Amino acid sequence: MIDVQLADRVRSLPPYLFATIDKMKDEALARGVDLINLSIGDPDVPTPQHIVEAMQAAVVKAEHHQYPSYEGMLSFRTAVAEWYKARFNVTLDAKTEVLSLIGSKEGIGHIPLAFVNPGDVVLVPSPGYPVYPVGTLFAGGESHLMPLLEKNNYLPDFTIIPEDVLKRAKLMFLNYPNNPTSAGAPKSFYEEAIALAKKYNIIICHDAAYSEVYFDGERPMSFLEVDGAKEVGIEFHSLSKTYNMTGWRIGFAVGNAQVLAGLGKIKSNLDSGVFQAVQEASIVALRTDDAILADLRRIFEERRDVMYEGLTSLGLKVQKPQATFYLWAKVPDGHDSSGFVAHLLNNAGVLGTPGVGFGAPGEGYIRFALTKPVGRIREAVERIKKVL
Ligand SMILES: *Cc1c(COP(=O)(O)O)cnc(C)c1O
């Protein structure tokens, strides 16, 4: 038997904060508890039928059975460019300013490998999507956490980042509409970020996974709509949340051609692109009639209303989401994040995610994902009411 030793980069992964909760969840399920699991950011609604049918037609075509190109079929990249034009009035060159990804997580995880040398800094929002700091760690970089606090509307305060950190920073991740806080960002914030990026030569990577999961008819803007954005960065996007296609593994990055070429260098050496049948079905997805998307949004909007009004009526302090399918709620006094999650799990059979799992500034919060039917969400509120 050889002595199997993990590499330092794997050993230095942050501790898995959900282990205790996972164990309690398994125990609850073993006891036969009817668990309402609101901890998973994966929509329960199936992919729209016309997209599934496009996939059925595409999968039989022999030309799709070979290696795809890592950068994506030109027809797919053209559909992305048209989508950006129609959605945001942003003009993109499909050949140089659009890159296909095997889900946006893949691109987010890989981009530090293209631009970050050991010891370089990456500016990372916290609480935030764990892939930003982990991708940074795998590249040997150092994450500098930018706290997202309620008093700043969950926007990072750039003025508190030390000058020497800014000078060493190569990349900055931003994510609006935000997971886990559900906050949005105004144009003025992006302008500030772009000015900072220009001053300190920082590449901005904006994660827009939730730009189409919005409520009250108020569509969030694209980072690329802002003057100067394309000079400093790129935007990551995904079909996962927009079209309920999390299992299909397709996303894309758009914007600065040099930055995309750098990411493409990593990808061409590591992967072989997205299955072309998936790309072909995704062209159909991107051309989906807006009425169908409006119906999908209405499903999440109804759930949001039930959960937001329900928790608020119980006296919990909740951020009302304008987008995303998450609710970010303050835990009641006397609990911390993990303790409150455990309390709800053990006494109400409702599972949320402890805010601290997304980074230290998330302590004191719980995230509920609206990924269960509205009847179950109503029941979750009733059950929480009994144990508060
Ligand atoms: C879901 C999610 C993604 C990635 O989704 P993919 O399925 O990999 O495209 C990226 N960023 C955030 C914040 C997410 O919540």
Q: Read off the CATH number of the domain in which 221 is found.
A: 3.40.640.10
Decide which of 286, 317, 337 is a domain's last residue.
286
Task: With respect to residue 37, please indicate whether it lies within any of the assigned structural domains.
Answer: yes
Residue 3 covered by a domain: no
What is the number of domains present in the chain? Answer: 2
Whether 353 and 375 map to the same domain: the answer is: yes
Alpha carbon of 351 to ligand 1 centroid (Å): 21
Q: Which of 228, 255, 286 is the last residue of a domain?
A: 286
Do 106 and 214 share a domain, yes or no?
A: yes
Enclosing domain of residue 39: 8-45+291-387
133 in the same domain as 164: yes
Task: Check whether residue 262 and residue 302 sit in a common domain.
Answer: no
Can you tell me which atom of ligand 1 is nearest the CA of 179? 13
Q: Is residue 1 part of a domain?
A: no
357 and 377 co-located in one domain:
yes
Residue 337 in domain: yes
Closest ligand 1 atom to Cα of 241: 1
32-49 core/surface letters (b: 16 or more CB in 10 A; e: else): eeebbbbbebebeeebbe
Q: How far apart are CA 319 and CA 317, in angstroms?
A: 7
pLDDT score for 319: 87
- pTM score, whole prediction: 0.96
pLDDT of 16 reads: 75
105 CA from centroid of ligand 1 (Å): 6
**Are residues 189 and 80 part of one domain?**
yes
Could you tell me the distance, in angstroms and rounded to a whole number, from the CA of residue 209 to the centre of ligand 1? Answer: 6
In the reported structure, the alpha carbon of residue 101 is separated from the centroid of ligand 1 by a whole-number distance in angstroms of 12
Residues touching ligand 1 (Cβ under 6 Å) are 41, 103-105, 129, 175, 179, 207, 209, 238, 240-241, 246, 251
Q: What DSSP string runs through 274-333?
A: --HHHHHHHHHHHT--HHHHHHHHHHHHHHHHHHHHHHHHTT--EE--SBSSEEEEEPPT
Cβ(218)–Cβ(246) below 8 Å? no
103 and 243 co-located in one domain: yes
Do 29 and 107 reside in the same domain of the chain?
no
Whether residue 2 is contained in a domain is answered as no
Is residue 282 domain-shared with residue 295, that is, in the same domain? Answer: no
- Together in a domain, 243 and 352: no
The two tokens of residue 191 are 């302008």
Series of mean pLDDT values for 10-residue runs along the chain (388 residues): 94 81 89 93 92 98 95 97 97 98 97 97 97 96 97 98 98 98 97 98 98 94 98 97 96 98 96 97 96 93 97 94 96 95 95 95 97 96 95
Cβ-contact 91, 85 below 8 angstroms: yes
Is 85 in the same domain as 121?
A: yes
- State in Å: Cα 62 to ligand 1 middle: 30
Select from 286, 310, 345 the last residue of a domain.
286
Gap between the Cα atoms of 130 and 154, Å rounded: 17
Angstrom CA distances, 62 to 276, 278, 280, 359, stand at: 10, 14, 13, 46
Query: Tell me, what's the pLDDT at 65?
Result: 97
Query: Looking at the structure, do residues 38 and 116 belong to the same domain, yes or no?
Result: no
What CATH number does the domain containing 341 carry?
3.90.1150.10
